[in-house]
């Protein structure tokens, strides 16, 4: 019997979904974060649950050749980069393995061609969105940074190598403003204090930026001083939008519902694949812009559009995949649940002179059954759901519409495997899967697969 507190030396054989290394101790599987394949490590077990043990490294006995050092001083403390201790090529290998293993384990698929992971054009400073929680550090000083692994303990940061330097500089300017105006900082337990988070979004294609301060208050002190401090930061970006996001709800979402524009406009614009996209703070936008083009181009090439097809794009966000597809199809319909995103999508079609794309506000699980009932029969359906995957009602409606091809873009291999299995038990075949590295240095895996109707 293994018990918490036990020390042992084990070898890491593989990397599991979620990024932990996997080894064995007395026949029992042990998960150990921040390890690499082939590494011998001394660990201390901290938990034993449901037939597996969980340990932390106390010493690296024989480092793996895949290990690299010094990516970030906060590695291990900050919950962000759980693969940054690995060489980049190894991260790509691991992600392919995770997709292949998950398709087999959860989907029951064997003999599926899982292509090499598409490497990201940049493996650091790629994030176009940064969200820094604000709070007090251990000495009561106002600070901002990231949450520690699996907790809401604030890890202060002066710079993060995942995002553009500009984001870190705006964080520093925000802390300056907070100190100068004696603005209080939000405390999750007491739910008191004003400033909650700094949210930064960058449009690489236009060099436009949006800076949002979320606050547990309808007003902030001297908003003009906040604007002045943000605009004074020298960066390559032009700040087009500074927003106070009123976030008085006790939940833990990204943003509260209400925006007050303090400077400029409520949206910024980006260029992707030659198309211009207007983006609201509440709209989803892929966080790795250059890799997004690769991801969409992969999805589009799997769809094999010839100009004749009707296309349905479920979970369409601001209409990115829809508009990429509209250039190669007869007609596209996008469906999305966030009202601001649908508004962006409609504006984006118009702005790009695209007249063969329409957008419907609503959930995929409500709209798709309605479309099926009305007799819609799209040739190709794209789905790109959030991590929890598709609701069965959405999948059943797709089956009823009977498209030739379903292109599934997923940020969670487990729900991808589950949903693909559902579809493949009902008349479709999984043709191939391509992991695309949208999130270098983290264990997050994006993949796109083609499901083709059996004849
Ligand atoms: N394809 C888009 C968005 C993908 S992210 C892109 O590449 O940018 C997933 C999107 O699904 C988000 O915009 C989210 O708001 C939306 N969404 C979440 N749940 C939904 C549901 N039940 N029905 C429809 N859209 C949903």
Give me the pLDDT at residue 69, please: 86
- In this chain, the answer to whether the domains covering 92-121+288-453 and 129-272 adopt an identical fold is no
Max alpha carbon distance in the chain (Å)?
A: 69
Pick the atom of ligand 1 nearest to 296's CA. Answer: 7
Residue of the nearest CA to atom 16 in ligand 1?
315
Please say if 411 is a catalytic residue. yes
Give percent above pLDDT 90 in the chain.
89
Instruction: Please give the C-alpha separations between residue 416 and each of 123, 306, 409, 426, in angstroms, as whole numbers.
Output: 25, 26, 8, 16
Query: Which of these, 196, 198, 210, lies nearest to 173 by C-alpha position?
Result: 198
Q: Using 50, 70 and 90 to split pLDDT, how confident is the model at 75? A: confident
Decide: 429 and 108 in contact? Cβ < 8 Å. no
Give me the pLDDT at residue 118, please: 98
Give me the pLDDT at residue 209, please: 98
pLDDT at 73 over 90: no
Q: What is the CATH number of domain 92-121+288-453?
A: 3.40.50.150
DSSP string, 333-381: EEEES-HHHHHHHHHHHHHTT--SEEEEES-HHHHHHHHHHTT---SEE
| Higher pLDDT, residue 1 or 338 | 338
> Phi and psi dihedrals of 418, rounded to 5?
-60, -50
pLDDT at 268 over 90: yes
Q: Using 50, 70 and 90 to split pLDDT, how confident is the model at 292? A: very high
Give me the pLDDT at residue 211, please: 98
| Higher pLDDT, residue 78 or 97 | 97
Q: Using 50, 70 and 90 to split pLDDT, how confident is the model at 27? A: very high
Pick the atom of ligand 1 nearest to 411's CA. Answer: 5
Which of 76-85, 94-103, 170-179, 236-245 is the least confident region? 76-85
Per-residue pLDDT tens digits for 101-116: 999 999 999 989 999 9
CA of 336 to the centre of ligand 1 (A): 6
CA of 73 to the centre of ligand 1 (A): 34
Helix (H, G, I), strand (E, B) or coil at 163: strand
CA of 292 to the centre of ligand 1 (A): 15
Kindly report the average pLDDT of the chain as a whole number.
96
CA of 312 to the centre of ligand 1 (A): 13
| Higher pLDDT, residue 127 or 70 | 127
Mode of pairing for the β-strands spanning 195-203 and 129-136: antiparallel
Decide: 272 and 294 in contact? Cβ < 8 Å. no
Q: What is the CATH number of domain 7-67?
A: 2.40.50.140
129-272: CATH architecture:
Beta Barrel (2.40)
Q: Is there an atom of ligand 1 within 6 Å of 448 CB?
A: no
Work out the average pLDDT over 237-260: 94
Give me the pLDDT at residue 45, please: 97
| Residue 5: count of CB within 10 angstroms of its CB | 8
Give me the pLDDT at residue 234, please: 97
Work out the average pLDDT over 248-255: 88
Give me the pLDDT at residue 157, please: 86
Residue of the nearest CA to atom 1 in ligand 1?
316
Pick the atom of ligand 1 nearest to 386's CA. Answer: 9
Give me the pLDDT at residue 188, please: 87
Give me the pLDDT at residue 354, please: 98
Q: Is there an atom of ligand 1 within 6 Å of 340 CB?
A: no
Give me the pLDDT at residue 140, please: 85
Beta bridge partners of 259: 245
Q: Is there an atom of ligand 1 within 6 Å of 434 CB?
A: no
Residue of the nearest CA to atom 12 in ligand 1?
317
How many Å apart are CA 296 and CA 300, to the nearest integer?
Answer: 6
Pick the atom of ligand 1 nearest to 366's CA. Answer: 23
pLDDT at 80 over 90: no
> Phi and psi dihedrals of 234, rounded to 5?
-80, 120
Give me the pLDDT at residue 261, please: 98
**To test ligand 1's pocket by mutation, which of 385, 411, 446, 448 has the most ligand atoms within 8 angstroms of CB?**
385
Per-residue pLDDT tens digits for 426-447: 999 998 999 999 999 999 999 9
| Residue 254: count of CB within 10 angstroms of its CB | 15
pLDDT at 76 over 80: no
Give me the pLDDT at residue 135, please: 93
Give me the pLDDT at residue 263, please: 98
Work out the average pLDDT over 109-137: 95
How many Å apart are CA 43 and CA 219, to the nearest integer?
Answer: 50
Q: Is there an atom of ligand 1 within 6 Å of 270 CB?
A: no
How many Å apart are CA 94 and CA 14, to the nearest integer?
Answer: 8
Give me the pLDDT at residue 162, please: 94
Work out the average pLDDT over 319-343: 98
Per-residue pLDDT tens digits for 182-241: 999 999 889 999 999 999 999 999 999 999 999 999 999 999 999 999 999 999 999 999
Give me the pLDDT at residue 148, please: 82
pLDDT at 158 over 90: no
Q: Using 50, 70 and 90 to split pLDDT, how confident is the model at 310? A: very high
Give me the pLDDT at residue 121, please: 97
Domain ranges of the chain: 7-67, 92-121+288-453, 129-272
Q: Is there an atom of ligand 1 within 6 Å of 317 CB?
A: yes
């Amino acid at each position: 019997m293994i018990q918490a507190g036990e020390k042992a030396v084990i070898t890491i054989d593989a990397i599991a979904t979620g990024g932990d290394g996997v080894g064995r101790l007395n026949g029992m599987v042990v998960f150990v974060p921040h390890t690499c394949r082939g590494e011998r490590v001394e660990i201390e077990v901290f938990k034993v649950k449901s037939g597996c043990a969980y340990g932390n490294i106390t010493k690296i006995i024989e480092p793996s050749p895949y290990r690299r050092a010094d990516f970030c001083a906060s590695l291990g403390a900050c919950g962000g980069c759980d693969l940054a201790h690995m060489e980049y090529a190894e991260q790509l290998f691991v992600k392919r393995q995770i997709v292949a293993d998950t398709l087999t384990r959860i989907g029951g698929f064997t003999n599926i061609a899982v292509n090499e992971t598409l490497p990201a054009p940049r493996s650091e400073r790629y994030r176009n969105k940064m969200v820094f929680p604000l709070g007090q550090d251990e000495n009561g000083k106002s600070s901002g940074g990231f949450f520690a692994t699996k907790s809401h303990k604030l890890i202060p940061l002066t710079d993060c190598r995942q995002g553009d330097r500009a984001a870190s500089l705006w964080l520093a300017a925000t802390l300056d403003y907070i100190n100068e105006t004696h603005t209080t900082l939000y405390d999750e337990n007491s739910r008191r204090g004003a400033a909650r988070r700094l949210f930064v979004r960058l449009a690489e294609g236009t060099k436009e930026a949006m800076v949002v301060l979320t606050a547990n208050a309808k007003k902030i002190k001297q908003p003009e001083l906040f604007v002045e401090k943000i605009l004074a930061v020298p960066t390559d970006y032009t700040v087009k939008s500074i927003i106070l996001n009123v976030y008085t709800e006790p939940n833990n979402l990204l943003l509260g519902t209400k925006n007050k524009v303090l400077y400029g406009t409520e949206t910024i614009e980006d260029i992707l694949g030659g198309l211009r996209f207007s983006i609201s703070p509440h709209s989803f936008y892929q966080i790795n812009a250059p890799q997004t083009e690769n991801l969409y181009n992969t999805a589009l090439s799997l769809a094999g559009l010839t100009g004749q097809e009707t296309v349905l794009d479920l979970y369409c966000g601001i209409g990115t995949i829809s508009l990429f597809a509209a250039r190669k199809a007869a007609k596209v319909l996008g469906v999305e649940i966030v009202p601001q995103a649908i508004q962006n999508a409609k504006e984006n079609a118009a702005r790009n002179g695209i007249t063969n794309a329409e957008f419907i506000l609503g959930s995929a699980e409500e709209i798709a059954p309605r479309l099926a009932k009305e007799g819609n029969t799209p040739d190709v359906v794209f789905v790109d759901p959030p991590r929890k995957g598709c609701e069965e009602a959405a999948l059943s409606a797709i089956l009823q519409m009977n498209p030739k091809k379903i292109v599934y873009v997923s940020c969670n291999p487990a729900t991808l495997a589950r949903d693909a299995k559902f579809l493949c038990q009902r008349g479709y075949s999984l043709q191939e899967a391509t992991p695309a590295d949208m999130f270098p240095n983290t264990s997050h895996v994006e993949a796109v697969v083609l499901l083709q109707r059996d004849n």
